[in-house]
Structure 1
Amino acid sequence: MTDHLDHASAEEFWDARYGSSDRIWSGNPNAALVREAADLTPGSALDLGCGEGADALWLAQRKWKVTAVDISRKALERGAEHAAAAGVADRIDWQRCDLAASFPSGTFDLVSAHFLHSPVTMPREQILRSAAAAVAPGGVLLVVGHAGSPSWVADKGHAPHFPTPEEVFADLDLPAGQWEVLLTDVHESGMTGPDGQPATRTDSTLKLRRLAR
């Protein structure tokens, strides 16, 4: 979610984050993407907040044509290196984009937004509305996010609010009769805590299909 950090520092913040280590994330695609997109017919995909590109690579390896966007140039450079090594560089268009200020053009058969949370001020609801508008008729919008604080956070009373799938759906303010809800789900995921011990976190999934006109 967001805190006191201002929007102007977003690119600097994320470049510093990605520059702090050779790899920030695991390099594996998000489990919800694998689960929910495995049976979709490959077409065009938009990966919002792509980070180091694991989701984009997974999609490209399954014949999707992917537009992968992130605010961090360092993350995009790293993702492009991974794509070249995996032999799918020609299937991914890496674009630096500050989603708080602009949005990629075009429509897509799959728009994927995984863990689009930030400690830097970010208009998440506005971005997700733009994401929905970018879904082509018959296409899918997949929004996965945190639904609660991790288990190692003792003071849950001061934790930020993480929306439920139903709240995300309501915030999208979609036209009636034009979308089909395919999945709303909240589940607990295992992870490793900052002390190296096993931990858990609750995540949510919202999957929608735009009805073909």
Structure 2
Amino acid sequence: MRKPGDDRLGETQRRHWQQTYTAHPDMYGMAPSAPATHAAEVFRSAGVRTVLELGAGHGRDALFFARSGFDVIATDFSPTGLEQLTAHAAASGLTERITTLRHDVRDPLPLPDDSVDAAFAHMLLCMALSTEEIHSAVAKIRRVLRRGGTFVYTVRHTGDAHYSAGTPHGDDIYEHGGFAVHFFDRALVESLATGWELREIHPFDEGDLPRRLWRVTQTVPRSA
């Protein structure tokens, strides 16, 4: 079973994603994801100005947030993905609205406390992270969010067709087609909302399999 601090799987996944972005530029297309479209509406209604996107990849959602008028800090552990994002931002005249930052979610966020209004992560937390690493990542995100700040994230869950399929790595992590996924149960989602205000757990499908996901919205209490 994989334990926190055992980075062999994480390093394998970093190499795999780097190779994937190199071989398949703009692999997800340039249209924003449905969760990003929803998140933009939530952020706009909350008066958000700055959005931290974790696991931005080649930038389809970061670019959408920037086009929607938000200032975006886009992070990813793949330099190739961030290079593609930067090129698209320049071509779209969005350079001033997007800051890119190479960052592994296991590491401390190099941002000040209470410095961003909102955070977004589409299928980042369900990568090859242990449960302890997931809790740590959410704590890091909370640290940089202002009071009242909103976090919207999506994860594949245990109702997904790939759950229990492929190569098991322990801790509900299964590798299929070279991609390792931590499948969430409801208890994990609820535990990650401890100390937050849990606004929504919304089930939805994505892709041809289809992938089964939850879209979760939670906010930092204003009295925190």
TM band (smaller chain): 0.7 to 0.9
User: Could you tell me which residue of structure 2 aligns to residue 195 of structure 1?
Assistant: none
Q: CA deviation at 1:11?
A: 3.9
User: Could you tell me which residue of structure 2 aligns to residue 170 of structure 1?
Assistant: 191
Percent identity (aligned):
22
Contact map agreement 1:141 1:207 (CA 8 A) in 2: yes
User: Could you tell me which residue of structure 2 aligns to residue 16 of structure 1?
Assistant: 19
Q: Secondary structure at the match of 1:6?
A: helix
In the alignment, structure 1 residue 201 sits paired with structure 2 residue 204: no
Contact map agreement 1:145 1:205 (CA 8 A) in 2: yes
The one-letter amino acid of 1:34's match is: T
Alignment of 1:90-129 (within 5 A): 90-106=96-112, 107-116=115-124, 117-119=126-128, 123-129=133-139
Q: CA deviation at 1:102?
A: 2.5
User: Could you tell me which residue of structure 1 aligns to residue 91 of structure 2?
Assistant: 85
User: Could you tell me which residue of structure 2 aligns to residue 68 of structure 1?
Assistant: 74
Q: CA deviation at 1:38?
A: 1.5
Superposition RMSD in Å: 2.8
Contact map agreement 1:146 1:204 (CA 8 A) in 2: yes
In the alignment, structure 1 residue 30 sits paired with structure 2 residue 51: no
Contact map agreement 1:111 1:134 (CA 8 A) in 2: no
Distance 1:185 1:204 in 2: 5
Contact map agreement 2:158 2:185 (CA 8 A) in 1: no
Distance 1:19 1:121 in 2: 27
Distance 2:216 2:25 in 1: 31
Distance 2:186 2:33 in 1: 17
In the alignment, structure 1 residue 191 sits paired with structure 2 residue 199: no
Alignment of 1:134-149 (within 5 A): 134-148=144-158
Alignment of 1:19-58 (within 5 A): 19-39=22-42, 40=44, 41-58=47-64
Distance 2:183 2:111 in 1: 28
Distance 2:66 2:190 in 1: 28
Distance 1:154 1:111 in 2: 27
TM (normalized to structure 1)?
0.80
Q: Secondary structure at the match of 2:29?
A: coil
- Structure 1 gaps, min length 5: 193-198
User: Could you tell me which residue of structure 2 aligns to residue 196 of structure 1?
Assistant: none
Q: CA 1:138/1:60 → structure 2, altered by over 3 Å: closer, same or farther?
A: same
Contact map agreement 2:148 2:219 (CA 8 A) in 1: yes
Number of residues of Structure 1 aligned to a counterpart in Structure 2: 200
- Structure 2 gaps, min length 5: 174-181
Q: Secondary structure at the match of 1:207?
A: strand
Contact map agreement 1:147 1:203 (CA 8 A) in 2: yes
